[in-house]
Amino acid sequence: MYRTHTCNELRSSDIGRHVTLAGWVASRRDHGGVIFIDLRDREGRTQVVFRPELSAGAAEAAHALHDEDVVQIRGEVAERIPGTANPKLDTGEIEVVASELIILNRSAPLPFQLDANVTNEDLRLTYRYLDLRRPPMLQNLRTRHTLNRVTRDYLDRYGFIEVETPILSKSTPEGAREFLVPSRLYPGQFYALSQSPQQFKQLLMVGGIERYYQIAKCFRDEDPRADRITELTQIDLEASFIEREDIIRLVEGLLAEIFRATRGAEVATPFPRLTYREAMDRFGSDKPDMRFGVELVDFSEAFRESQFKVFRGALDQGGVVKAINAKGFAGITAGQVEELTNLAKSSGARGLAFIKVENGEWKSPIVKFLGEPEKATLRERLAIEEGDLILFGAGQWETVCTVLGRIRSRVADLCGLERDPSDLKFLWVLDFPLMAYDAAENKWNAMHHPFTRPKTEDIPLLERGEYDKVRAEAYDVVLNGVEIGGGSIRIHEGDLQTKQFAALGIPPEAQQKLFRHLLEAFRYGAPPHGGIALGIDRLLMLITDTPNIRDVIAFPKNSRGFDLLMEAPSAVSDRQLRELHLQIRKRQ
């Protein structure tokens, strides 16, 4: 038996007990005579003391211990000498007086100290197995485990069956770019790694499973971000004979249980709701952070006859003029103005008009173009006071909303507006547009995915080709400005699905080639169904309050999709390539 107790188990009540512990040397304090080590395992730390007069051999060997050596210790639990208890340790009342020390394995000096703040993430990822020994990382993995366990219990209680779906699947190049896997048995043909179990879960509904879920790995060959990774995990679920309200109630209950179990937080349900249109209009985002105000206000009517050409021009071209009031931020520095302007430009704006309200005066390059009635409208609707900063956007509705939404968020950070991670502002965003026009490709794309059901009352719009007006029976769940999940009611009728594909520019032949399985399945009594997928990694970022998605994943790839630990991707042998019928082209 390697151990009788863990390193976070012994207490005063165990004094006198003969025990065996095993773990890593977390710290050695060698006084020449008496030697202390902190022994660490998964559960915690226990101080071990070596006394030369009691066991000379063990003490002698203890002189040579180093950090992260793996040892086994036999000894007796003793009360610490009065005044030397350590209240910082759960086991701080006692210590183990070692009678025997067995070195199970030595450790070389570490490339970084486990108790230090390491900013070099490459190093942490290269030695991830060492990084994982740090308590916060272990805690993140435990939290992840709790989330998975609670999810399985909850969905089981509601009659959901966990079904695994293939990872090697078919390339259907709508949506995210896929990872392709060459086939040995079918020369020149490829699998695609599943970017989502979407089509399989719909086929499960046709299969009469009725309620499915999976903690599913999804693969997307897109550029990562701080909160995005190419290999992500989703709580994926789908149910038949349900409506939007059923999914919403189910997910609210699930999230409440997850936050109770992982954070001990009580989540108020039901969550507030906004339509996509409202969310964009008022907050400039389809995933607004509701922990602070600063809403976008529309001034299109007020500036209809404006002398200011930028505003007037935008309105004449069917656009909008909107503004936000950054309360008390008139003291913005020139550098900050430049930063906000660059943010606006990178978000699609031509520039960023602003007014500083200082010493009772409106300071701005544009103020000379404003008439008294316009000023009065601004003053009233933005509740302008001394010290405020007004920021404007003018142009196409969606661009203006997006620009001001990003400005809103940045201003909140610059102003130090409260963004308390324990303030959980959940939100449903409903009625997304079914499709979005892609000017670059000159075609309509599905906003969610091509299987999303149009709202029933909007189906005639779809049939008339008024694609921009068609709303989807789709819903996103948002927490503190982060989209943590999205889903929809699906199309279950073959003819409607065919029309939808056609609207997305997929002609009948391509439909058959790519989606024959689905269209065929819909011919045999497909039930009405819908579902949702929640991103576990992002959810954990919010639960653990970490800004880096890699910190909640045991073995993440870096932001370039490279695995520093395994050094993948890597070159393969000519023989492997031949088996796969592949030839590498020389790079130019």
Residue 67 in contact with RNA, rule: CB under 7 A:
yes
Cis geometry, peptide bond prior to residue 433 (ω within 30 degrees of 0): no
Neighbours of 359 (CB within 10 A): 9
- From the CB of 420, what's the least distance to RNA, in Å? 20
In angstroms, the CA 241 to CA 527 distance is 7
Task: Tell which one of 17, 43, 70, 92 touches RNA (CB under 7 A).
Answer: 92
In angstroms, the CA 365 to CA 254 distance is 52
Interaction with RNA in 263-302: which residues (CB under 7 A)?
none
Q: Which stretch binds RNA (CB under 7 A): 86-94, 141-149, 302-310, 370-378?
A: 86-94
Q: Which stretch binds RNA (CB under 7 A): 113-121, 158-166, 366-374, 510-518?
A: 113-121
Interaction with RNA in 9-28: which residues (CB under 7 A)?
27
Indicate the residue among 287 and 322 with the shorter CB distance to RNA.
287
Task: Tell which one of 140, 195, 480, 500 touches RNA (CB under 7 A).
Answer: 195
- From the CB of 342, what's the least distance to RNA, in Å? 8
Task: Tell which one of 153, 223, 246, 574 touches RNA (CB under 7 A).
Answer: 223
For residue 85, CA distances in Å to 53, 78, 463 come to 22, 11, 77
Q: Which stretch binds RNA (CB under 7 A): 155-163, 216-224, 382-390, 566-574?
A: 216-224
Residue 40 in contact with RNA, rule: CB under 7 A:
no
In angstroms, the CA 318 to CA 323 distance is 17
CB neighbour list of residue 364: distance below 8 Å, 6 or more residues apart: 353, 354, 355, 356
Task: Tell which one of 133, 177, 379, 419 touches RNA (CB under 7 A).
Answer: 177
Nearest-CA neighbor of 492 among 453, 455, 463? 453
H or E stretch at 211: strand 211-219
What does the DSSP 8-state code read for residue 172? Answer: -
DSSP bridge partners of 19: 75
Asked if 369 and 306 count as a contact pair (C-beta separation under 8 A), the reply is yes
In angstroms, the CA 15 to CA 206 distance is 63
Residue 85 in contact with RNA, rule: CB under 7 A:
yes
Interaction with RNA in 433-492: which residues (CB under 7 A)?
438, 440, 445-450, 452
Asked if 182 and 580 count as a contact pair (C-beta separation under 8 A), the reply is yes
Interaction with RNA in 345-364: which residues (CB under 7 A)?
346-347
Q: Which stretch binds RNA (CB under 7 A): 174-182, 296-304, 368-376, 510-518?
A: 174-182
Asked if 21 and 7 count as a contact pair (C-beta separation under 8 A), the reply is yes
Indicate the residue among 199 and 262 with the shorter CB distance to RNA.
199
Q: How many residues bind RNA (CB under 7 A)?
A: 72
Beta-sheet strands, E only, within 434-542: 435-438, 443-446, 474-479, 482-489, 529-535
Task: Tell which one of 5, 10, 23, 38 touches RNA (CB under 7 A).
Answer: 38
Task: Tell which one of 103, 141, 176, 337 touches RNA (CB under 7 A).
Answer: 176
Residue 536 in contact with RNA, rule: CB under 7 A:
no
Task: Tell which one of 51, 152, 170, 273 touches RNA (CB under 7 A).
Answer: 51
Interaction with RNA in 114-153: which residues (CB under 7 A)?
116-123
User: Is 145 in a helix, a strand, or coil?
Assistant: helix
Residue 86 in contact with RNA, rule: CB under 7 A:
yes
